[in-house]
Amino acid sequence: MAVYTEVSDEDIIAFLGQYDIGALASFKGIAEGVENSNYLLLTDRGPYILTLYEKRVDPADLPFFLGLMDHLASAGVSCPTPIKGRDGKALRHLCGRPAAIISFLNGVWPRRIWPAQCAALGSALAAFHLAGADFELTRPNALSVENWRPLFEPCRGRADAVFSGIEATIDAELDYLEENWPTDLPAGVIHADLFPDNVFFDGDRLSGVIDFYFACDDFMAYDIATCLNAWCFERNAEFNVTKARNLLSSYGQVRSFSHAEMAALPLLARGSALRFLLTRLYDWLNQIEGAMVKPKDPVEYLQKLRFHQGVAGPGEYGLI
């Protein structure tokens, strides 16, 4: 939870003057999101989100992210869209940061996941992948298999203090995944960070998907693997096969996966678990004193990695 860049009343009034979305009624920093500063902006026409893109976002990627939201929304995916000012532009600067006003999406993200929500997630993810197929911009995944070792190197020598034996596990897993990572699965635009706090619901009905700031081109099945990790484990680290079955079968009803994708799922789930283990480990070991964001527990993803290491085949995810 964080607002990194303080926007003054005068700043926001001047900024809003470039848009035709009504007069300012209120604006308040939102205590959600880790990467960027978000404000909830109320005008006399309704709510909007103002996002200031902080250091971790490369400004060169913003046309991809904002263009993707427009593209997906046009294709019928429920997601926020960037609002264009009177000059036709959605992306501008505020308080020294790239900034955009984004349409507001109703709904709340689920703190406790119901199996029915995993089914809704599966359909939405498949629809996302289908809709992304003809998006014209591209962005390589900056957190894929070739980036994991460079991320781990600065953690070496300090990681075992976080959890005993974690270094050896990561070393062996890096060797294995670099050796065995697939190269020819169906690829396209993926969300790459589809955690529960990025999916809004109205009860069991999925009202939309937010936060496209890790979206990139990669294997579509890798996105599914990330969702298996983020949605289908209980808090005690047990895998919930009912949730996984719901996710996979609903996905398959909208976009059928190939046999190769299915067979690769345990490997992709190991890779996705390692990716989040490594970024969390890095953030854990590089905490900034006085930071307003609590780092997430890397050990949670070590447990998920170990689960997938023990999986004999994709059947254990609930689909025959």
Stretch that binds a second copy, among 26-34, 89-97, 142-150, 270-278 (CB under 8 A): 26-34
Count of residues for the chain?
A: 320
> In degrees rounded to 5, what are phi and psi of residue 46?
130, -170
Q: Determine which residue in the list 135, 181, 201, 317 makes contact with a second copy, applying CB under 8 A.
A: 201
> In degrees rounded to 5, what are phi and psi of residue 294?
-80, 130
Which residue type sits at 23?
Answer: A
| 109 vs 282 by CB, closer to a second copy | 109
Q: Are 243 and 319 in contact (CB under 8 A)?
A: no
- Which residue has 């993810």 as its token pair? 125
Angle between helical axes of 166-180 and 259-285 (0-180°, round to 10): 140
Q: Determine which residue in the list 104, 163, 176, 195 makes contact with a second copy, applying CB under 8 A.
A: 104
Stretch that binds a second copy, among 103-111, 120-128, 231-239, 242-250 (CB under 8 A): 103-111
| 8 vs 183 by CB, closer to a second copy | 8
**Widest CA span of the chain, in angstroms?**
60
Q: How far is the CB of 79 from a second copy (least distance, A)?
A: 15
Rounded to whole angstroms, the Cα distance separating 296 from 101 reads: 28
Contact characters 35-74, a second copy, x per CB under 8 A: -----x-x----x---------------------------
Stretch that binds a second copy, among 25-33, 176-184, 214-222, 268-276 (CB under 8 A): 25-33
| 86 vs 111 by CB, closer to a second copy | 111
- Which residue has 């390589």 as its token pair? 140
| 53 vs 317 by CB, closer to a second copy | 53
Contact characters 260-299, a second copy, x per CB under 8 A: ------------------------------x-x-x-----
Rounded to whole angstroms, the Cα distance separating 250 from 47 reads: 32
Q: Determine which residue in the list 15, 19, 27, 128 makes contact with a second copy, applying CB under 8 A.
A: 27
Residue 106, C-beta contacts closer than 8 angstroms, at least 6 positions apart:
200, 202, 207, 208
Q: Is the dihedral of CA 203, 297, 55, 59 positive or negative?
A: negative
Instruction: For the chain, state the CA radius of gyration.
Output: 20
Q: How far is the CB of 243 from a second copy (least distance, A)?
A: 17
Residue 23, number of CB atoms within 10 A of its CB: 10
Q: Is 32 in the site for a second copy (CB under 8 A)?
A: yes
Q: How far is the CB of 127 from a second copy (least distance, A)?
A: 22
Q: Determine which residue in the list 18, 22, 24, 283 makes contact with a second copy, applying CB under 8 A.
A: 24
Residues that bind a second copy (CB under 8 A): 1-3, 6, 8-10, 12-13, 24-32, 40, 42, 47, 104-112, 200-201, 290, 292, 294
